[in-house]
Amino acid sequence: MAQKKTTRICIFVFCVVLSIITLLPLLLMLLTSVKSISEINAEQFVFFPKHILFSNYAEAMKKGDWTVYFKNTIIVTAITVGISLVINSLAGYAFARIPFKGRDFLFFLAMVGMMIPSQVTMIPVFIQLKEFPLAGGNNILGQGGTGLINTYAGLILPYIAGAFGVFLCRQFYMNIPQALDEAAKIDGCSRIMAYAHIFLPLSKPVLATLAVLKSSQTWNDYLWPLIMISNNSRKTVQVALVSTFVTEVSTNWNLLMAGTAIVMLPLVILFLFTQKYFVEGVVSSGIKG
């Protein structure tokens, strides 16, 4: 009994220490966001500011057109997540519940995609979107214009599907009893009807999990929007943070941290509302680590 109690105490202490280590960067960001620039540039590190300057948040939002930046990011994220949930859930359902020739090999090829870094495919994807036929002044051969550069479509298309989303949905659907397929078949349901009326309503946990992960990926992405967007009216919040507060001469760290805190707030709210489904989806899909 005493050994169990000691083990629980050790686990508790370990979790507390781990939580502190995880939350420390977030705390430093929040403290930096309310410091004066003199405290940030002081020779000795100032942990707690002498005067809390909440005015930094208002000043940060005055620099740049943040209404446009947030609108662009919300549009790209919402459309990406919506289309991604449909594509990944359908693909996962097909790989998990529909037997067809070559299914395992195709799934293996999809999983290979998880092993390829996005930086490797970034240039080929950029060229494909730039030479997209009949877009941005291009002819039928994809020549003469800018294609999908500086467009929402150019930001959305690379994210609407992904090997991890397919894997997540497949693992979830494989845990559903086979009896449901047999019952649907007896009732005269086609595969698509069984998916829409039986499996999709059961998919809230895994779809919520995928929505949170995909939202975080799209909302926080910096490199791809930086490559695809040169027009200020199409900038996303991550690109705007750097272009607004970071210059070759100096960096307004207090305003940058204030802007970062505001930008991350929608994702925090999303996770709080979907936390229950997120945890359930991770557990039911058999994902570890």
Please tell me the predicted confidence (pLDDT) of residue 185.
83
Tens-digit pLDDT profile for residues 111-135: 888 888 888 889 999 999 999 998 8
- For 123, the token pair is 């240039």
Domain annotation covers residue 202: yes
Domain annotation covers residue 18: no
- pLDDT surpasses 80 at 235: yes
Please tell me the predicted confidence (pLDDT) of residue 264.
92
**What is the Rg, in whole angstroms, of the alpha carbon atoms belonging to the chain?**
24
Domain annotation covers residue 149: yes
Domain annotation covers residue 125: yes
Instruction: Please list the residues that pair with 251 across neighbouring strands.
Output: 246
Q: How confident is the model at residue 289 (pLDDT cuts 50, 70, 90)?
A: very low
- pLDDT surpasses 50 at 282: yes
Place of tokens 């050994």: 3
Please tell me the predicted confidence (pLDDT) of residue 278.
66
Domain count of the fold of the chain: 1
Domain annotation covers residue 97: yes
- pLDDT surpasses 60 at 75: yes
CATH of the domain at 142: 1.10.3720.10
Using alpha carbons only, give the angle 226, 230, 233 rounded to the nearest 5 degrees: 105
Mean pLDDT, the chain, rounded, equals 87
Domain annotation covers residue 109: yes
The residue range of the domain holding 264 is 66-284
Of the chain, the percentage scoring pLDDT greater than 70 comes to 95
Contact 244, 257 (CB under 8 A): no
Q: What is this structure's pTM?
A: 0.86
- pLDDT surpasses 70 at 287: no
Q: How confident is the model at residue 288 (pLDDT cuts 50, 70, 90)?
A: very low
Tens-digit pLDDT profile for residues 149-205: 999 999 999 888 888 889 988 988 888 888 888 888 888 888 888 888 888 888 888
Give the number of C-alpha atoms closer than 13 A to the C-alpha of residue 9, restricted to the C-beta side: 6
How many whole angstroms from its chain centre is CA 167?
A: 16
Helix axes 163-174, 204-220, angle to 10 degrees: 170
Contacts within 8 Å (CB) and 24+ apart, 98-106 = 98/191
Domain annotation covers residue 249: yes
- Residue range 40-65: average pLDDT? 88
Tens-digit pLDDT profile for residues 79-110: 999 999 999 999 999 998 888 898 989 999 88
Domain annotation covers residue 19: no
Q: How far apart are CA 245 and CA 59, in angstroms?
A: 11
Report which of 137, 157, 156 is spatially closest to residue 147, judged by C-alpha positions.
Answer: 137
Tens-digit pLDDT profile for residues 29-39: 999 999 988 88
